Amino acid sequence: MSNSSFSLKASAKELSVKYQRVRRQTIHLCEPLEKEDFVVQPIMDVSPPKWHLAHTTWFFETFILKDHFEGYQLFNKNYPYLFNSYYVSAGDRWSRAQRGHLTRPTVDEIFAYRAYVDDHIHKLFDLVVFDEQLNYIFEVGLNHEQQHQELLLYDIKYILGSNPLFPIYREKTHLNQSQLQQSWLPIEEGIYEIGHQGDGYKFDNELGYHKVFLNSFAISSQLITNSEYLAFIESGGYENHHLWLSEGWDWVNNQQEKAPLYWHRLNGEWHNYNFAGSEKLDLNEPVAHISFYEADAFARWKGLRLPSEFEWEIACSKYSDLIRRGNFVEKELYRPYKEDKQFFGNLWQWTSTPYRPYPGFEPADGALGEYNGKFMINTMVLRGGSYATPQDHIRSTYRNFFHPNVQWMFAGIRLAQNL
């Protein structure tokens, strides 16, 4: 990713306004938490909320203030070691699996750290001219924090959802949306263009505009519901090895998987945990917290398949007006912004495509070159976005990626078929 690949024309004033908005949103997401919630790390994939608060602050301190604020003094000389994530070029770092061991620094000290960095960032706007390079790094930092806002919600839900008391995070927001019938949206055979073009921020993994050939196919207009997935469970889907990839079958047996994450049976009925606590399973809602292995097995059970990421992008572009109308009542609405712009569903959707670079992919120089490129192995692409995805990240070219066994992110199922 060369910096010249980005045409970022935001003024310093616009960046300042966005900085304040993004930083406030992170705090807003933490407002319902008790101090005890900030430190917990039930599994390695989950980072304590306190760590997210510190890491996103470390990013601005490390990549902006240290290099561009003359005479800047670190808030604490130990914090770069504690709150670096995976940037080898930025120095040594504390183990990801042991982030929950850090009872110190305290939550109050982390909030003081954020305030200290925010104060210096605000002063920076009056001290330096934001050239193209600084503008670019700043935009990366803002988008990086927005990504962590979604991760923060994944982690909060896992922390609270792993508690047998099923604590309430926030009450539900009910939207009056009509249920739409499932239908198949056809795409003709042809050569199509893939990837991001034009101005505006995009991550490096979206660059490399190129053409692909697609055979004729159709993609489902709606996400798979809890009712449909329950039928898969009741038919013995988790016991039928013919439906599962070999690694998926090993995962099912080793982990004793029987249902999606957060599903549990009470008095003979299925319930699931959401941010409003434990409730009886709503059969009309899209099934969520599905691993790639489960999505693939369900598709096989239906005699269908998952779409490729290229099929998904082209279908989304062609049918965006239809799909943005939405198809279910969104009961956990915590978007950073007020607009309710749905984009091909409110859950990420697994595709059948391994996460690999587009033609001509070039990582940036230095530590920021580690942002996406080094993860292009052993993960699968998801497309779309979820109810927790910041609005200005919702675009047809956005590429998310996770290992095929993980369930804690907000992911569901959309199917495809050959024509």
Residue pair 38/52 in contact by the 8 Å Cβ criterion: no
Average pLDDT, the chain: 90
Which stretch of 42-46, 187-191, 332-336 has the lowest confidence by average pLDDT? 332-336
Which stretch of 140-144, 187-191, 316-320 has the lowest confidence by average pLDDT? 316-320
CB atoms within 10 A of CB 316: 23
Residue type (1 letter), 191: I
Percent of the chain clearing pLDDT 70 (strictly above): 90
Residues 6+ apart with CB under 8 A from 253: none
Tell me the two tokens of residue 353: 């495509």
The pLDDT assigned to 13 comes to 84
Taking residues 374-389, report their average pLDDT: 93
Percent of the chain clearing pLDDT 90 (strictly above): 78
Which stretch of 218-222, 316-320, 339-343 has the lowest confidence by average pLDDT? 339-343
* Residue among 126, 121, 131, 125 at smallest CA distance from 59: 121
Residue pair 153/348 in contact by the 8 Å Cβ criterion: no
d(Cα 209, Cα 26) in Å, to the nearest integer?
Answer: 33
Strand pairing report for 348-354 and 411-412: parallel
Question: In which order are the strands placed within the sheet that holds 217-220?
Answer: 184-187, 217-220, 416-418
Taking residues 72-85, report their average pLDDT: 98
Q: How far is CA 257 from CA 260, 368, 370, in A?
A: 8, 37, 34
The pLDDT assigned to 343 comes to 41
> Which pLDDT band, with edges at 50, 70 and 90, does 11 fall under?
confident
Which stretch of 37-46, 132-141, 175-184 has the lowest confidence by average pLDDT? 175-184
Q: Please indicate whether residue 394 or residue 336 has the higher confidence score (pLDDT).
A: 394
Tell me the two tokens of residue 368: 């920021």
Taking residues 389-403, report their average pLDDT: 92
> Looking at the predicted structure, is the pLDDT value of residue 383 above 50?
yes
d(Cα 149, Cα 162) in Å, to the nearest integer?
Answer: 20
Residue 380 has φ and ψ, to the nearest 5°, of -120, 150
pLDDT tens sequence across 254-311: 999 999 999 999 999 999 999 999 999 999 999 999 999 999 999 999 999 999 999 9
> Looking at the predicted structure, is the pLDDT value of residue 27 above 50?
yes
Strand pairing report for 210-214 and 190-194: antiparallel
d(Cα 156, Cα 150) in Å, to the nearest integer?
Answer: 10
> Looking at the predicted structure, is the pLDDT value of residue 173 above 90?
no
Tell me the two tokens of residue 61: 């301190």
- Name, of 230-234, 340-344, 360-364, the range with top average pLDDT: 230-234
Which stretch of 42-56, 127-141, 246-260, 361-375 has the lowest confidence by average pLDDT? 361-375
> Looking at the predicted structure, is the pLDDT value of residue 30 above 60?
yes
Residue pair 19/144 in contact by the 8 Å Cβ criterion: no
Residue pair 79/54 in contact by the 8 Å Cβ criterion: yes
Q: How far is CA 382 from CA 4, 151, 266, 292, in A?
A: 27, 15, 32, 9
Residue 173 burial class via C-beta count within 10 angstroms: exposed 0-12, middle 13-18, buried 19 and up: middle
Going along the chain from its start, the domains and CATH numbers come out as: 3-161 (1.20.120), 184-418 (3.90.1580.10)
The pLDDT assigned to 345 comes to 56
pLDDT tens sequence across 136-163: 899 999 999 999 999 999 999 999 999 9
pLDDT tens sequence across 191-249: 999 999 888 889 999 999 999 999 999 999 999 999 999 999 999 999 999 999 999 99
Taking residues 355-360, report their average pLDDT: 94
- Is the whole model's pTM more than 0.75, yes or no? yes
Residue 373 burial class via C-beta count within 10 angstroms: exposed 0-12, middle 13-18, buried 19 and up: middle
**Alpha helices for 204-291 (secondary structure H):** 226-234, 246-255
* Residue among 358, 356, 350 at smallest CA distance from 383: 350
> Which pLDDT band, with edges at 50, 70 and 90, does 344 fall under?
low
> Looking at the predicted structure, is the pLDDT value of residue 54 above 90?
yes
> Which pLDDT band, with edges at 50, 70 and 90, does 391 fall under?
confident
Gyration radius of the chain's alpha carbons = 22
pLDDT tens sequence across 82-141: 999 999 889 999 999 999 999 999 999 999 999 999 999 999 999 998 888 899 899 999
Residue 66 has φ and ψ, to the nearest 5°, of -60, -35
The pLDDT assigned to 370 comes to 78
Residue pair 63/367 in contact by the 8 Å Cβ criterion: yes
Which stretch of 18-22, 251-255, 262-266, 319-323 has the lowest confidence by average pLDDT? 319-323
The pLDDT assigned to 327 comes to 36
